[in-house]
Amino acid sequence: MRIGILGTGNVARALAAGWSTAGHDVVLGSRSPEERTDVTGAGFTVVGLDAAVADAEVVVNATPGTVSVELLGSVGAAALAGKTLVDVGVGLSDDFTELSHPNSSLGELIQKAFPETPVVKTLCTMDASVMVRPGALEGRSTVFLSGDSAAAKQLTARLLTDLGWSAASQLDLGGIGTARGQEHFALLFIGIAEGLGSHTFNIDVVTLPSGP
């Protein structure tokens, strides 16, 4: 599949490497691709935002959550129409201390701004290293999906499987309104990271034992 990842940070690069290894055709999109020689030097393909979207079947938003809607707007609703948009953006202020969209979410704002583009929120509840290597943790953990389009969530689920997320580890929370739950987890994520002294962890949903 052709995947255009908007962003060139840790998350964008980790996902690009993970999906490339799984056999997908991945490019990173940047506002100033010519300046990202550090990223191209590491073996990634970096193009402009428009080009990253134009050639992609799936667009992934890995830009800072505080500027994502503006950056996607510069690409334009027409260019994004009909493509699945996987939003992994963090719902925190730039200094990572406060919710940037309390009682709302970046995922919902993107969906509202681009109604012809089905948006799926996922992967924003964990560190980049865990997104692409869930099997490195000591046990099973959970990745969440939120979105209004069942087809877009199915496509996203396949891409998660390609990163190592088993079907049993994927939990569909419901419509895009549930993205705020994933995003608001960010402050507990930071608290847990402080408590553990590490960002390399995830949460697992533990239920009652299955009946006999």
Which spans of this chain sit near a copy of itself (rule: CB under 8 A)? 98-99, 102-103, 125, 136-142, 144, 146, 171-174, 178, 180-182, 184-185, 187-192, 194-196, 198, 200-210
Give the separation between CA 66 and CA 77, rounded to whole angstroms. 19
Minimal distance in Å, beta carbon 157 to a copy of itself? Answer: 13
Angle between helices 68-75 and 106-113 (to 10 degrees): 20
Nearer to a copy of itself, 24 or 133 (CB): 133
Minimal distance in Å, beta carbon 146 to a copy of itself? Answer: 7
Nearer to a copy of itself, 56 or 183 (CB): 183
Nearer to a copy of itself, 91 or 118 (CB): 91
CA 90-96-100 angle, 5° bins: 60
Minimal distance in Å, beta carbon 130 to a copy of itself? Answer: 9
Which residue's entry shows tokens 């940037």?
100
Minimal distance in Å, beta carbon 188 to a copy of itself? Answer: 4
Instruction: Tell me the HSE value of 195 on the side-chain side, using a 13 A CA sphere.
Output: 7
Structure tokens at 16: 């690009």
Nearer to a copy of itself, 74 or 198 (CB): 198
Cβ atoms of 144 and 202 within 8 Å: the answer is no
